[in-house]
Amino acid sequence: MQEDRKLAVLRAIVEDYVATEEPVGSKALVERHRLGVSPATVRNDMATLEDEGYITQPHTSAGRVPTDKGYRLFVDRLTTVKPMSPAEKRAISTFLDGAVDLDDVVSRSVRLLSQLTRQVAVVQYPTLSRSTVRHVELVALAPTRLLVVLILSSGRVEQRVVEVAVPLTDEVLADLRTVIGRAAAGQVIAEAVTALRDLESTDPTTTVIVDVLVDAMVDHRSDERIAVGGTANLARYGDHFDSAVRPLLEAIEEHVVLLKLLGEATEGGAVTVRIGAEGPYEELSSTSVVATGYGPHDEAVATLGIVGPTRMDYPGTMAAVRAVARYVSRLLDEA
Amino acid sequence: MQEDRKLAVLRAIVEDYVATEEPVGSKALVERHRLGVSPATVRNDMATLEDEGYITQPHTSAGRVPTDKGYRLFVDRLTTVKPMSPAEKRAISTFLDGAVDLDDVVSRSVRLLSQLTRQVAVVQYPTLSRSTVRHVELVALAPTRLLVVLILSSGRVEQRVVEVAVPLTDEVLADLRTVIGRAAAGQVIAEAVTALRDLESTDPTTTVIVDVLVDAMVDHRSDERIAVGGTANLARYGDHFDSAVRPLLEAIEEHVVLLKLLGEATEGGAVTVRIGAEGPYEELSSTSVVATGYGPHDEAVATLGIVGPTRMDYPGTMAAVRAVARYVSRLLDEA
DNA sequence: GCTTGGCACTCCGCAGACCCGAGTGCCAGC
DNA sequence: GCTGGCACTCGGGTCTGCGGAGTGCCAAGC
């Protein structure tokens, strides 16, 4: 038996199954793909593929369906990420170019991604920890009430209100601005935190402000912010409602779970594919995740991607995820 | 026939149908509710109720199901919003009290509301238009690049980056701050916009900054921000997937649609109920909306509520929506 | 004039029987 | 190693029959 024909058969099975959502049989295969051999031959190949664990039959005398292992091989060796068409590229840029701020970039990306892939899209907000402090602003709302605004290189803005014991004069405030600005501005979060902590003992007012700033910087809640879109695409899952859609909807609610699913931000533009039970959640054994890191200057500060059924168009999806990540990264370069 | 027994029958039908999700027949009805009459009598009442359009049968010789009109009557006349239990009240406060900023309040409310009602919860961010300008801050990011931060009384912060033609000195910046601050601070959005427009002709730099500020103030995108949660509850819809869940998922994607569904913010704590086809979207003819306005000082600046099947526990849901709205309003009072 | 028990009727939903077609595995021949 | 042939399996669709829940109506009773 020819090894490469066997792989061609696997590829054909995956493609057909993805397209039709039905177990694919030997006859249909030779008809749709010019394999140059008879159904019987294909059947032999299929038997081997099944022995090796790449495909299964839902029941005796039914067609074959790829297993997770089959998809894995398909993704790793049988497919190349197909480049986006010029039209698609244009769509991406027109869609994203109007964004006014970071929030807008994220929400547009999520919508774009879900439309391109027709899957549920997830975009993580650029993580605090890797960005630098661009500016800290103190605004007096009342004599003893202060608004602390933290502006980061990623475009993120965090704000907190602080009550201070002693009423603040304009001069004191100006001083505080300089002191804090000198300590934090331009630093990576981690460094800024250390520098600020050094100021803590100075006096009660400074201490309370520094506390809240540090708090805002290390706040986990912020690290976990994500945007989700395209949940309407879940409707296309058709049946498997309870087994597939319900756990996914639950995962979507739990942003922490989603973040874990997305996994680590990957450097260098590589798109990660996690297929079915490879992931950490057994309820999601029939969903795959296609994700990649993004961020300014090829430094992955966050992750974006899609979540969908294992039965999905991997080449197309991977292409879309990669293209959007690249475009968003370039947007962040400019900012 | 006694008019009030007829209504009791309707109430019983609604309650049973909501509880069991199955058409309710005359026999089961007299067994579960001490109506003091025989099934035959109930059948007569049911026939009248059906003539009057309050209930229907899915098919001949099946039990009865409330119509939209039936639910309407039930909500308007046959039920009172039942107060929350002390335990529930405590749950609400512990859940909401840890909120650090407006975003947090909104996201917590949405989660709380979806958990209390086991429905899809929607919370609109406090609308820009009714709030006042608390502060405008200008931050020089680079000599010709400026970050404009707009802080509103609702706690909302909008930020934009502006490029200016002429490099800015510290003095010019300070001047700009005072001029703009004087024009905008403390004003309602609408007034601030007019006041700012008056400044526009002063010089090119001011003009470009004012433009971006005005833009941020009237930006519709901001008016439309909402948070959605509890979509996992859609899984409980069971069947009716295509007819009920799909359009709802689509509506949830389209935030504009959701806003329209929520309707106008209502003053005075009244909870609005929109049942099935009463709403503007025919695809959502089997979903109801329970919503109410909320905001500081009894002034409704935004709306929150839930979206669910017409077949829902109205008294309980209305109670939860009202309780959460009240609590959130009180939170905003303090801020 | 309502209420009630009785009764015939309707119709859904389920279970069983059946058949068809798609697909397989295996084998003998090329 | 490929191919055609053949017997076998099994899911899914259709048809049928049946039981049960529920109705509508009627005549009798309070």
Distance B15 CA to C5 C1' (A): 27
Mean pLDDT over A315-326 rounds to 94
CB of A242 within 8 Å of a chain B CB? The answer is yes
Ranges A186-200, A253-267, B111-125: which has the least confidence: A253-267
Domain A129-217 annotated CATH 3.40.50.1390 = no
**Domain ranges within chain B, ordered by starting residue:** 2-76, 86-127+223-334, 129-217
Identify the pLDDT of residue A142: 77
Identify the pLDDT of residue A292: 94
**Proximity of residue A297 CB to strand D below 7 A:** no
Nearest beta carbon to residue A100 from set B149, B160, B231: B160
**Proximity of residue A269 CB to strand C below 7 A:** no
How far apart are alpha carbons A175 and A195 in whole angstroms? 17
A84-102 tens-digit pLDDT = 899 999 999 999 998 877 8
**Other beta carbons less than 10 A from residue B106's beta carbon:** 23
Most confident of B24-28, B67-71, B240-244: B67-71
Contacts of B141 in chain A (CB under 8 A): 134-135
Mean pLDDT score across all residues of chain A = 86
Mean pLDDT over A180-187 rounds to 87
Mean pLDDT score across all residues of chain B = 86
- Per DSSP (E only), the strands in A267-319 are 272-274, 287-294, 302-309
Distance A40 CA to C30 C1' (A): 15
At CA A196, angle to CA A194 and CA A199, rounded to 5?
115
Q: pLDDT > 70: what percent of chain B?
A: 94
Identify the pLDDT of residue B136: 87
Indicate the pLDDT class of residue A272, thresholds 50, 70 and 90: very high
Identify the pLDDT of residue B112: 95
Mean pLDDT over B152-166 rounds to 80
Indicate the pLDDT class of residue B223, thresholds 50, 70 and 90: low
- Per DSSP (E only), the strands in A61-212 are 65-66, 120-124, 133-142, 145-152, 157-163
B161-201 tens-digit pLDDT = 888 888 888 888 888 888 988 888 888 888 888 888 888 87
Contacts of A217 in chain B (CB under 8 A): none
**Proximity of residue A38 CB to strand D below 7 A:** yes
Amino acid (one-letter) located at B200 = E
Q: pLDDT > 70: what percent of chain A?
A: 93
Residue pairs between chains A and B whose CB atoms are closer than 8 Å: 81
Cβ separation A160–B100 shorter than 8 A: yes
Tell me which residue of B8, B13, B4, B2 sits closest to B71, measured CA to CA: B13
CATH of domain B86-127+223-334: 3.30.450.40
Q: Which CATH number fits domain B2-76: 1.10.3720.10, 1.10.540.10, 2.40.100.10, 1.10.10.10?
A: 1.10.10.10
For residue A229, the distance in angstroms to the closest alpha carbon of chain B comes to: 7
Mean pLDDT over A194-219 rounds to 85
Please give the full DSSP string across B91-125, using - where no structure is assigned. HHHHHHHT--SHHHHHHHHHHHHHHHHTSEEEEEP
Indicate the pLDDT class of residue A239, thresholds 50, 70 and 90: low
Q: Which of residues 48-77 of B touch strand D (CB under 7 A)?
A: 50, 57, 60-64
pTM of the full structure: 0.81
| pLDDT > 60? residue A1 | no
Nearest beta carbon to residue B249 from set A160, A234, A335: A234
Identify the pLDDT of residue A267: 67
Mean pLDDT over B39-62 rounds to 91
* Closest alpha carbon within chain B to A101: B160
**Proximity of residue A43 CB to strand C below 7 A:** yes
